[in-house]
Every structure is written in C-alpha cells, then in structure tokens.
C-alpha cells in the first residue's frame, strides 16, 4: 500500500477524494511506475470482483476456463452438481499449473505427477499417496476462490471475505435491467481484442467522461444525444445514459422495429469492466480492461446477444466499435500515456461542471477516489 509519506512524493496531497470541484488529477507517475503497478495487484485486483464470462459459457459439468488476475492463474469449473466453482490453478503437490485455456474435463489432473482432483477441488487419494506417512488429503485439496453469479455472469474474487458484488454495486443491477431484459438468457456472440500501449487507469478514465466525445467521436455523438448524456456515480459504479438517434453515421438501426430499444446505456464497474447497451435488439457487451504491465493493457470486448449469430444491425454496430470507435479511443489514450512522461506535466485539474452535464469529469473523480482509497487502505 502507498503510505502517508508517499503522498507528497507522488503529489497525492493535491488529490481531493471528497472534493471533486477542487481536486487535481492523480499524479502522472502512478501511470507508469513499475513499483506502483506491483502494489495495485494486491491493493486493487486481488481484493475486487473480476469478470470471467457469461454463465451459459459453462454449458455442462466439467466445462472450465482459466483466467489471470494480476499474477494469479485461476481455474473456473462447473461441477457435476451444476455449481460453478473457482480455484487457484496450481497443484498442491509441486505447484505445476493444472488447466490451461478452456474446455471440458471429467477430472482435474496435474500433467506433472498425475495428482487428480474432483471437479469440486477434492484431492483423490491413490496407492502411492497412501504410502506417505501422516499424509492428510484434505490439506492438499485445491484452494478456493470466491465466485458470484451476477446478472447472469460469472465473477471471481481472491478475497474470500469480500462483500458480495450485488451489495457493493448498490442499484447497479436494477439500473442495467432497465435497458436489457433478463441478461441471464443472452448468448455469447463474439470477442474483439485490442492491444493498448497505455496504463489501465488511463483507459478507464477515457471511458468515464464524454467531454472528449464531440471533438474525438463525431459518429458517436450522432448516435446519442450528447446534450442529454449524463454520468451518474453510485456504489462502485458509474452510469452513462442518453437517448439514441436513428439518423447517425455510426451504424443504422430500425427505430420502429418491435423489440428494439432506443437508448445508449453504458456503465463502469470497479475496477476494470464496462457494460454497454447499444440501440437495437436486446444486447449487452463488456469491455474488460486487462492490465499486462504499467504501460500495456489488453481490452477484450465481448458481445452477448439474443442469438449467437449477430443480425445485420449488430454486425454494423460491432464493426463500428472495431474499426472506428476503438481506434479513436486507443489513439487518445496512447497519446496521453506518452504525455504523462513529460518533464513539465505532473497533475492536471479535473473539469467539474456544477450541473454535472456531459462535459463534466466527475466520473473520473469517482474512479480516482476509489483507486485512492484502495491504494491507501482508506475504506471510508
């Protein structure tokens, strides 16, 4: 954790977690210092809820996938009883990795010495282990990771004492359901992956404001009414909502088609996931912001739709994200990342509109305040 004497070192004394109107931004060094990145793993990611996938992607007993949380490799598995569990993906014998990628298995078997585990993590004894004096098989079961099914999606937390995601996120679930009915029944319809030469916080902050939208995203501000666009902060979340406009250059959708919804809705969920609902047929997409290093981030944009095959409108929306919106945003955050190394830049000043209009950066301040408290262990 950053200590009190680090505040002056990094300039954190100018950041005001409870006073957005007078706050400076987080100091530049927090976006590229390798030591800070190492602290973040434990202070932020090992204590937060991390996105895995939709529960339907564990379609049968034995279905599994592995995910990285910081330096930790986690295996998520559906048991024979239908329950989804997660474990540290390491053999209790000599620490060999157990599973890789995704697939289906009847049992979790270590490739090194064939130690075998049931799908619920229990170690199976055998004739060799029976010869080990004083061996207690219960001591060497797989070590669990906390799992929660939230909005039909699977989340994991390395902190076994963590408060549930549903409780931490306040009215987030209710808000999402206003714009996408029964997300539990959506189907995975594709992934786009982007490499970004920027710190993960830089990427989140770009999502957390639309002050930059008119100059940087001309098609996006045609897709929704920027004048009505508003950001609302609550719990560990922020929402970004505006009415959609059929006449736009981003992609075409039929405003009169039965079942099509006519809003643009997006949410940020601490620490590194965004939810997005685009105008058109029922849909929900995730932008999973995955830090790889202090200045390298991968973004996985996963689409969940009514059907596994997108319709014409959805193909156009996905193409807009891939070919226009993301390249625009990636160019912005990579330029900011380079600028953070300037000898003359240490901190900026947040623009907080007193009416919290579409040009206000109070969403950034909300994120930075959660980050500040996580990194200083200030849980007020």
Give the pLDDT confidence of 300-335 residue by residue, as tens digits.
999 999 999 999 999 999 999 999 999 999 999 999
Superfamily of domain 50-157: Rieske [2Fe-2S] iron-sulphur domain (2.102.10.10)
| Length in residues, the chain | 380
In the chain, domain spans: 50-157, 181-376
Tell me what pLDDT residue 7 has: 55
How far apart CA 223 and CA 278 sit, in angstroms, is 9
Whole-prediction pTM? 0.93
Task: Provide the pLDDT for residue 204.
Answer: 98
For 119, residues 6+ apart whose C-beta sits below 8 A from its C-beta are: 61, 62, 77, 78, 79, 80, 85, 105, 107, 108
* Equal fold, 50-157 vs 181-376: no
Per-10-residue mean pLDDT for the chain, 380 residues long? 57 90 96 96 97 96 97 98 98 97 97 96 89 89 98 98 96 94 96 98 97 94 91 95 93 88 94 96 96 97 97 96 97 98 96 91 97 78
Distance (Å, whole) CA 200 – CA 216: 20
Task: Give the tens place of pLDDT for each residue, 260-290.
Answer: 889 999 999 999 999 999 999 999 999 999 9
Give the pLDDT confidence score for residue 311 in this predicted structure.
95
The confidence score (pLDDT) of residue 134 equals 87
H/E element holding 215? helix 213-216
Decide: 308 and 188 in contact? Cβ < 8 Å: yes
State how far the Cα of 185 lies from the Cα of 35, in Å rounded to an integer: 42
CB 162 within 8 A of CB 49: yes
Catalogue the E-assigned strands of 115-269.
116-117, 144-150, 153-157, 187-196, 230-234, 237-243, 263-269
Question: Is-contact 104 79, C-beta < 8 A?
Answer: no
Tokens of 230: 């508003």
Q: In what order do the strands lie in the sheet with 153-157?
A: 50-54, 153-157, 144-150, 84-88, 72-78, 63-69, 102-104
- The CATH H-level superfamily of 181-376 is Naphthalene 1,2-dioxygenase Alpha Subunit; Chain A, domain 1 (3.90.380.10)
């Amino acid at each position: 954790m950053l200590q009190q004497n680090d505040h002056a070192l990094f300039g954190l004394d100018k950041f005001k977690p409870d006073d957005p109107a007078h706050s400076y931004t987080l100091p530049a060094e927090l976006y590229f210092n390798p030591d800070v990145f190492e602290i973040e793993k434990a202070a932020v990611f090992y204590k937060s809820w991390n996105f895995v996938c939709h529960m339907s992607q564990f379609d049968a007993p034995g279905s599994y996938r592995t995910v990285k949380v910081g330096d930790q490799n986690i295996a998520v598995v559906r048991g024979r009883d239908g329950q989804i569990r997660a474990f540290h993906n390491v053999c209790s014998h000599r620490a060999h990795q157990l599973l890789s990628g995704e697939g289906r298995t009847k049992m979790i078997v270590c490739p090194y010495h064939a130690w075998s585990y049931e799908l619920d993590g229990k170690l199976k004894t055998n004739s060799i282990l029976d010869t080990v004096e004083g061996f207690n098989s219960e001591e060497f079961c797989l070590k669990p990771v906390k799992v929660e099914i939230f909005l039909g999606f699977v989340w994991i937390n390395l902190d076994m004492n963590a408060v549930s995601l549903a409780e931490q996120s306040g009215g987030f679930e209710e808000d999402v359901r206003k714009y996408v009915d029964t997300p539990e029944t959506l189907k995975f319809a594709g992934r786009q992956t982007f490499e970004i030469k920027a710190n993960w916080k830089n990427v989140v902050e770009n999502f957390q404001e639309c002050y930059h939208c008119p100059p940087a995203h001309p098609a996006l501000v045609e897709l929704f009414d920027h004048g009505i666009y508003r950001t609302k902060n609550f719990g560990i979340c922020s929402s970004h909502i505006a009415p959609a406009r059929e006449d736009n250059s981003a992609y075409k959708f039929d405003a009169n088609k039965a079942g099509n919804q006519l809003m643009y809705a997006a949410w940020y969920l601490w620490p590194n996931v965004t939810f997005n609902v685009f105008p058109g047929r029922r849909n929900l997409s995730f932008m999973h912001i995955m830090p790889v290093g202090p200045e390298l981030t991968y973004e996985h944009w996963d689409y969940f739709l009514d059907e596994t095959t997108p319709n014409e409108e959805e193909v156009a929306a996905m193409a807009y994200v891939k070919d226009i919106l993301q390249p625009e945003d990636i160019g912005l955050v990579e330029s900011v990342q380079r600028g953070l190394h300037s000898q003359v830049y240490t901190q900026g000043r947040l623009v907080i509109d007193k009416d919290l209009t579409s040009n206000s950066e109070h969403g950034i301040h909300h994120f930075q305040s959660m980050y500040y408290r996580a990194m200083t262990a200030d849980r007020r």
